[in-house]
Structure 1
Amino acid sequence: MTIQARMDSVRSKSEALSQNSRSESKEMTEKPPLVVIVGGGFGGLAAAKGLKRSPVGVLLIDRSNHHVFQPLLYQVATSVLAPGQIASPIRSLLAKQANISVMLGNVTGVDAASKQIIVDADDKIGIRISYDYLILATGATHSYFGHDEFAAFAPGLKNLSDAESLRNHLLEVFEKAEIEDDPDRRQALLTFVMVGAGPTGVEMASAIAVMTQTTFRKDFRRIDPESAHIVLADMGSRPLATFSEKLSEAAKQRLVSLGVDVRLGKPVQAIDRDGVVIGDERIQAKTVVWTAGVAPSPAGKWLGCGVDRAGRVRIQPDLTVPDHPDVFVVGDTASLDQDGRPLPGVAQVAMQQGKYAALCIFRKVIGHPPSPPFRYFDKGNLAVVGKNFAVLQSAGVQLSGFMAWLVWALIHIQFLAETSLRFSVFLQWAWTYLSGKRGDRLIIRQRSGS
């Protein structure tokens, strides 16, 4: 089946919805409009589900076939959960939605004047697909703030491939340390540096600390895993800077109690295969993880529109691009101020924007007045700092410790994409909590040859 035939199929599946809505619509074309969604993350998936009862055809395109619950990637990297416990096939999540089709492909450009996107798919380069409405939910990638040479030695954590690669590496360095006779090389193997003290850096550092003090404590004979040197570095003055100073200090004290070496106020000057330079001090380390920042997708370049300093598309209050009322941008790729401050790049923003974009399109298609401007409802911030401890900030409430940790666990289970995942993660967490044993500690490498 050709790409165009697939698009016709998507449109035809929505004919029944179109017939049901004709009485509300001022004017309907012969074929329902086609909404193309680029990206199957939180924003894209929310938009797709929001269009379930709209008289449109929907095509969702992603270069992966699965949706990942990114807040738990660090638990895959630290062997608590398996990859399949935080990810679901996009087709499975949308299987009951009659008006949608899913395509595995890599979008490389947008021709807004012709209302077409450019896709590499089906072993073909530069396929053009026409749209009536476009939702770009293309997310973000690692940002090394002008030091792209760091990427080869300090991987980030944005997808399942990153998490599996980091898990393999973490497990391997302990194995190598077990057979290393030179004390300096052994200590370098057991030194772990997180660059960036946001939620990902704090969660990674504390998770590695807990792993060395529980799961690995009795597994090795020649090394003491608790002798690992875990460094959390940030040029800012405190960890979790988006939280209040009180909660930030509570998180810092918890990290210190776990044995994490918190280095603040000094920039990372250099990173290579043997370590990192923080300020004027060199730390020998075989593991450096980049948790410092993200950069948006090239959507701004595709559209040729205005972007902010970070490269995010400057959108209007209805989430559309100036001069292109049929193009919506949501999530980490979008830049929108609210109450004089830019909206944060978190999952809740992406989900709410995805739902809003779907509602706007629905109202346009059936001829209703436009929706009021988008407004983000902040449900609060959460970050976990090892076992039994988290920080929570929501609507004036500030909480740290065990109760915040319980709230964190319940909310994260609730937002997993499928019931089966919620049940699986709950059981794994309960087992790990009671036994100290982790769920997925396999080193899996592809072998060349037979």
Structure 2
Amino acid sequence: MTGEIATIETLDKPDEKTGAPRVVIVGAGFGGLAAARELGNTNIDVTVIDRRNHNLFQPLLYQVATAALSPADISEPIRRTLGRFRNIKVMLAEVTGIDTAAKTVHLDYGADVPYDWLIIATGSEYNYFGHEDWRAAAPGLKTIHEARLIRQRLLLAFEKAELSQDPEEKKALLTSVIIGGGPTGVEMAGAIAELGRFMITRDFRKLEPDHLRVLLIEAGPRILSAFPEGLMNYAQRSLEGMGVEIMTNTPVESIAKDEVLAGPHRIRTGCVIWGAGVKASPAASWLGIEGKAGGRIPVEPDLSIAGHPEIYAIGDTALGLSDDGKPLPALAQVAKQQGGYIGKALRRKLLERKDSPPFRFNNRGNTAVVGHKAAIFDFGTWRLKGRIAWYLWALVHVYLLVNFEKRLLVSTQWAWRYVSRQRGARLIDENAASFVPSSTQRTET
């Protein structure tokens, strides 16, 4: 492969009804939406398929889980996002397979969608490393449902602790365990520590700050392994200053609803959160090929799949290489750049009969927020930490939101939270299971 998209004469098969080439995009995350936008309002028949009816800004999902934002602040119906493009159809369905010979995508309800060009942008999911039974007790942060579940468990734990008459039970309920020391784990640990201390200080009468315990558990020798040591040290000091206990070189042995066994430690807990690793969607199995590095699909320099020049994989699904030969990270900026690239490349190929150069990733920095007014930013050649990094983190994340309305909503809420420290999304589903602890005697609160 030379990195150029295959010639239009061999693969451009126009739709029988419209006479336009058919492009199917599976997945409406960062990459899928970026590709769809580039193909919008052209003479190309585009179909976007996703099992959810909304796109989701996953980097801020931890703020939904910790009651800083509501789900609607970081998500939007796909039909609303793409509705202005006359040539794009949206389908709410789950893909179950791909027939590369017939060039069709199989859907869960039995229908097939034909394609001439196919873009796979199905993202990733959390990897429990063979312990799928842990998923129910330790949800990750990939969906709104998981974020709301974590929020529910966190808030319920505080309510249970307020009612409990047993000091040891109070401490167990107010112990949160985050497994995985990557950016998600670090962000969750800091956010839970801030949320817990704020609520105990302001809203709960029978809880004390020393009841709160937040543990960040990492099996490896250090947290934030993808960041330089100096930034990691700053993040670790910041977390520890917020009261977060960091346990490295501590593999998890077992997880139950209210208990974690990690190394020699048996920890009673009110909430467990998983952030220890991800794996690609099962897209490789749909194509009958072997995934690499967590199930990711190896791609050519033009993001096509070897042996299938009409099929492209982008984002967390794809295993692309940077200029130095290292795998591209599973980050939102990679998916968005790849989606924009492939959308433009297909548009040029199909409408202008021009080839595009190979994809090149433009690294705009790797970041993690540690807490209120503290973050780290790694740009490779230079680095930022502290309040300036936090401002830049906030600016970048607001910019990446799907539209002006979401940017305005999130900016306003962040500004208010910055001043007041209030979190307005602290809602518990009234249909949740009974949360009165066994040791509780109902008394006036």
TM-score by length of 1: 0.90
Task: Indicate the residue corresponding to 2:418 in structure 1.
Answer: 433
| Rounded Cα–Cα distance in structure 1 between residues aligned with 2:33 and 2:344 | 14
3-state SS, counterpart of residue 333 of structure 2 = helix
One-letter amino acid matched to 1:64: R
1:344 to 329, 335, 350: 329
| Rounded Cα–Cα distance in structure 2 between residues aligned with 1:436 and 1:385 | 15
Aligned pairs for 1:248-263 (under 5 A) are 248-263=232-247
Q: 2:381 matched to 1:384?
A: no
1:194 to 157, 161, 178: 178
Q: 2:264 matched to 1:264?
A: no
1:282 offset after TM fit, Å? 1.0
Task: Indicate the residue corresponding to 1:294 in structure 2.
Answer: 278
Aligned pairs for 1:1-400 (under 5 A) are 31-120=19-108, 125-225=109-209, 227-338=211-322, 339-366=324-351, 368-400=353-385
| Rounded Cα–Cα distance in structure 1 between residues aligned with 2:153 and 2:209 | 15
| Rounded Cα–Cα distance in structure 1 between residues aligned with 2:431 and 2:51 | 22
1:81 offset after TM fit, Å? 0.6
1:34 offset after TM fit, Å? 1.1
Deviates further, 287-296 or 359-368: 359-368
1:28 offset after TM fit, Å? 7.2
In the alignment, is the contact (CA less than 8 A) between 1:116 and 1:129 conserved in 2? yes
In the alignment, is the contact (CA less than 8 A) between 1:55 and 1:365 conserved in 2? no
1:437 offset after TM fit, Å? 1.1
> May I ask how many residue pairs the two structures share in their alignment?
419
1:369 offset after TM fit, Å? 3.8
1:182 offset after TM fit, Å? 1.7
Task: Indicate the residue corresponding to 2:8 in structure 1.
Answer: none
Task: Indicate the residue corresponding to 1:19 in structure 2.
Answer: none
The CA deviation string for residues 383-425 of structure 1, in whole angstroms up to 9 with x for no partner, is 1001010001114111110000010111111111111111111
The CA deviation string for residues 145-204 of structure 1, in whole angstroms up to 9 with x for no partner, is 122221121111101111111111111000000011122222110100100011110000
The CA deviation string for residues 227-270 of structure 1, in whole angstroms up to 9 with x for no partner, is 31100010122211111110011000000000000001121111
Deviates further, 435-444 or 245-254: 435-444
Cα distance change, pair 49–147 in 1 and its aligned pair in 2 (3 A): same
Deviates further, 248-257 or 390-399: 390-399
What runs of 5+ residues in structure 2 fail to find an aligned partner? 1-11, 434-445
| Rounded Cα–Cα distance in structure 2 between residues aligned with 1:347 and 1:222 | 42
1:53 offset after TM fit, Å? 4.6
In the alignment, is the contact (CA less than 8 A) between 1:139 and 1:332 conserved in 2? yes
In the alignment, is the contact (CA less than 8 A) between 2:150 and 2:271 conserved in 1? no
One-letter amino acid matched to 1:146: G
Task: Indicate the residue corresponding to 1:421 in structure 2.
Answer: 406
1:446 offset after TM fit, Å? 4.1
One-letter amino acid matched to 1:320: S
The CA deviation string for residues 317-342 of structure 1, in whole angstroms up to 9 with x for no partner, is 11111111111111111112221211
1:367 offset after TM fit, Å? 5.5
1:225 offset after TM fit, Å? 4.5
| Rounded Cα–Cα distance in structure 1 between residues aligned with 2:200 and 2:102 | 58
Deviating above 6 A after TM superposition, structure 1's stretches of 4 or more consecutive aligned residues are 26-30
2:391 to 390, 402, 406: 406
Cα distance change, pair 57–446 in 1 and its aligned pair in 2 (3 A): farther
One-letter amino acid matched to 1:376: F
Cα distance change, pair 126–423 in 1 and its aligned pair in 2 (3 A): same
Task: Indicate the residue corresponding to 2:9 in structure 1.
Answer: none
One-letter amino acid matched to 1:251: A
In the alignment, is the contact (CA less than 8 A) between 2:153 and 2:270 conserved in 1? no
In the alignment, is the contact (CA less than 8 A) between 1:37 and 1:137 conserved in 2? yes
1:447 offset after TM fit, Å? 7.2
3-state SS, counterpart of residue 250 of structure 2 = coil
One-letter amino acid matched to 1:405: W
Cα distance change, pair 447–216 in 1 and its aligned pair in 2 (3 A): closer
In the alignment, is the contact (CA less than 8 A) between 1:215 and 1:437 conserved in 2? no
| Rounded Cα–Cα distance in structure 2 between residues aligned with 1:33 and 1:306 | 29
| Rounded Cα–Cα distance in structure 1 between residues aligned with 2:399 and 2:192 | 25
| Rounded Cα–Cα distance in structure 2 between residues aligned with 1:429 and 1:172 | 24
In the alignment, is the contact (CA less than 8 A) between 1:60 and 1:102 conserved in 2? yes
Cα distance change, pair 387–94 in 1 and its aligned pair in 2 (3 A): same
In the alignment, is the contact (CA less than 8 A) between 1:27 and 1:367 conserved in 2? no
1:212 offset after TM fit, Å? 1.8
Q: CA RMSD for the aligned pairs?
A: 1.7
Task: Indicate the residue corresponding to 2:5 in structure 1.
Answer: none
The CA deviation string for residues 129-160 of structure 1, in whole angstroms up to 9 with x for no partner, is 11111111001111011222211211111011
3-state SS, counterpart of residue 360 of structure 1 = helix
1:213 offset after TM fit, Å? 2.2
